[in-house]
Amino acid sequence: MQRIPTFSKGGVHPDDRKVYSRSAAIERLPMPSELIVALSQHLGAPAKALKAKGDTVMKGEKIGEASGFISSDVHSPVSGSIKEIRKVTLANSVQCDAFVIVPDEVQPADPEETVDWQSLDGSELLSSIKDMGIVGMGGATFPAHVKFSIPKDKKVDSFVVNGVECEPYLTADYRIMLEKGEQALEGAMIVAKIVKAERVIVGVEMNKPDCIDHLKEIVKEKGYPIEIVGLKMKYPQGDEKQLLKAILNREIPSGKLPLDVGAVVSNIGTCNAIYEAIVLKKSLYERVISVTGECIANPKNVLAPVGTKMSDLLDFCGGFSKEPEKLISGGPMMGFSFFDTETPMTKGSSGLLALGAQKKYRSTACLNCGRCVAACPIALMPAKLYRYISNGEYEEAMNTSLMDCKECGCCAYVCPAHLPLVHTMKTGKKLGRKKK
């Protein structure tokens, strides 16, 4: 029997709960009355505002310019006027300036002409990715043009597309693969040309067999040199380290990037955005977000402009069916819980979850059972780190590879003492950096 690939160390098996929104086709959100477009929708330095209060903006016009090496442009999702520039707090607690844009009643139609990307060379493609403000859409929002700029001394042989979507509840990538699979795979081919990769591999978890079949059909029809690989379900397979281990059996050393082992990893949603940016000349100003959870009346996958307030998304999905205990932006394992429904979504918002009341457990002392060590996909010792951090020994924690922790949540998920391990790691990282 053929072995189904997955990563080897650690990982957990949460209930996938994708049933709420998996059968809901992507729907376009009716134009909201107001958009809050934040200037820090990516990892790195916030963009610099190019417009002022009272200015009018066009759909797709650049309104924020990248202000550093790791930074990205921001575009207006609508034609309209800027009501004000104000400080906002995003769902991940980042504070930044944001444009409040009131859309015009009549919006211009999307241009129909397409660009033949085959005629462009790698650097032209890369610069248009930069101009279109593409960032990683899995949630980390790392600027795509930085990721795809391969240093001269590095060589990339494989481009791995992440269609895993291992977070429970989320179905945005699933719907993209089913409905926009052609676009996404063509986007993957564009990236492969930029990074000069010989192999293009798409990894999809086995809980999405229809996606695997659909993508395989497209590949056969179009004759793309793309491999579609079904992966065994395990969280956090969508992390680039785990994905490379599962697909290519390569391990990324501590503090290194996939580039160092000759691979580039990108999300399937990003590939779709790249296709739209290059071929349809559409900058990244809208994305698919799953609005789901037990407390949402009609869970949906919504194509919404960036900057849509969470309250508009909730209204579109029929509001709450019962009072939610927790609102989460992103997935339940790595997402951020937030409380203000006026918070805007960003380029990295893959989900909006409203979860019901759960049984509450009191944290007890660490039992030294070692389950967190077994669950950690990068072989850290969360219990040891927890002890160091709660005793204020941040330097020791940093020396015990605290900075390698990617806050995937496996340790806290399995902890029988219900210790808030991930929260501790985040606190320790912050204080450890401050000390240094």
Binding residues: 366, 369, 372, 376, 405, 408, 411, 415
Q: Can you state the angle between helices 172-179 and 268-278, rounded to 10 degrees?
A: 50
Residues 79-98 that bind another protein (CB under 8 A): 89, 93
Q: Report yes or no: 176 and 139 within 8 Å, Cβ to Cβ.
A: no
Comparing CA positions, the residue from 164, 255, 184 lying closest to residue 226 is: 184
Beta carbon nearer to another protein, 370 or 420:
420
Return phi, psi of residue 348, to 5°. -100, 5
> What phi and psi, each to the nearest 5 degrees, are found at residue 284?
-80, 90
- Length of the chain in residues, anyone? 436
List 392, 399, 416, 433, residue binding another protein (CB under 8 A): 392
If binding is defined by CB under 8 A, does position 154 make contact with another protein? no
Query: What would the DSSP string read from start to end of 150-186?
Result: --TT----EEEEEE---SSS--HHHHHHHHSHHHHHH
* H or E element in which residue 145 lies: helix 144-148
Should residue 358 be labelled a site residue for another protein when binding is judged by CB under 8 A? no
Rounded distance between C-alpha atoms, residue 163 and residue 204, angstroms: 5
DSSP string of 338-355? E--TTPBP-TT--EEEEE
Spatial separation of the C-alpha atoms in residues 268 and 282, rounded to whole Å: 17
Residue closer to another protein (CB basis): 93 or 119: 93
> Cβ(331)–Cβ(238) under 8 Å?
no
* Residue 283 CA: distances (Å) to CA of 34, 269, 272, 352: 20, 14, 12, 23
Of the pair 152, 434, the CB lying nearest another protein is at 434
Q: Of 163 and 348, which has the nearer Cβ to another protein?
A: 348
Contact status: 357 vs another protein (CB under 8 A): no
Closer residue to another protein, CB minimum distance, 187 or 428: 428
Stretch that binds another protein, among 101-109, 216-224, 302-310, 424-432 (CB under 8 A): 424-432
Count of residues engaged in binding another protein, rule: CB under 8 A: 16
By beta-carbon proximity to another protein, the closer residue of 303 and 431 is: 431
Select the span of 250-258, 348-356, 376-384, 426-434 touching another protein (CB under 8 A): 426-434
> Which position has the token pair 């790791």?
70
Is residue 430 close enough to count as binding another protein by CB under 8 A?
yes
Q: Does 433 bind another protein (CB under 8 A)?
A: no
**Positions in 328-347 near another protein (CB under 8 A):** 337-340
Residue 119 is a binding residue for another protein (CB under 8 A): no
Residues 6+ apart with CB under 8 A from 211: 163, 174, 177, 178, 181, 204
Question: Closest CB to another protein among 217 and 340?
Answer: 340
Which of 27-35, 194-202, 374-382, 427-435 is the region at the interface with another protein (rule: CB under 8 A)?
A: 427-435
Does residue 424 interact with another protein by CB under 8 A?
yes
User: In whole angstroms, how close is the CB of 291 to another protein at the nearest point?
Assistant: 20
Q: Which residues are annotated as a binding site for [4Fe-4S] cluster?
A: 366, 369, 372, 376, 405, 408, 411, 415
Residue 40 and residue 94: Cα distance in Å, rounded?
8
Residues at the contact surface with another protein, assessed by CB under 8 A: 89, 93, 337-340, 360, 390, 392, 420, 423-424, 426-427, 430-431
